[in-house]
Amino acid sequence: MKKLTDARNHLLASGLQIKAKDLLTFAEKGSVVAYQGTESQNRNFKIEYVAHLIVTDYAGDPQSLLFVMTDWVDANIPDREPEALKFHVDVISHKAVDISIQINLSDTIAVEPVEGGTNLDHQPDADVRGIEMGNFFPDLA
């Protein structure tokens, strides 16, 4: 669950003064999508899950935290829906809130047999924004 770890690290490094002890991260509703065969066939698989990042006792502006996560989603989930982030805010005092952020994530794992075992390698998502459509449609303006 590399993306969940990356999202956590992004929040901790964001400059929003979030401490690791105040950031809970977990995944739920996980599933594995696999069309596995023998060792000579494709054994790659995908992990899909709902990621939760909960910031407790957050004294900053909730919109700042959501903005930081919107940037992370934009950089890390190229095929996301426009409403990729879901959130819940619990006002716990006039100085702090608890914020729960929910994101549907997936990690694709390439499986490669190597001498003495198997190598599992996280694969980046395909980013359609990087495709130059003019290569496929020369008349496209």
Domain ranges of the chain: 2-135
Q: Is 22 helix (H, G, I), strand (E, B) or coil?
A: helix
Structure confidence at residue 39 as a pLDDT band (50, 70, 90): low
Q: What pLDDT, on the 0 to 100 scale, is given for residue 123? A: 81
What pTM value is reported for the model?
Answer: 0.79
CA distances from 12 to 17, 49, 66, 76 (A): 7, 21, 14, 16
- Per-residue pLDDT tens digits for 73-120: 999 988 888 888 999 999 999 999 999 999 999 999 988 888 998 888
The pair of structure tokens assigned to 7 is 């999202």
Instruction: Could you please state the CATH topology (level 3) that the domain comprising 2-135 is classified under.
Output: STM4215-like (3.30.2000)
Please list the residues that pair with 27 across neighbouring strands. 51
Q: Is 99 helix (H, G, I), strand (E, B) or coil?
A: strand
Q: Whole-angstrom Cα distance, residue 139 to residue 141? A: 6
Q: What pLDDT, on the 0 to 100 scale, is given for residue 48? A: 94
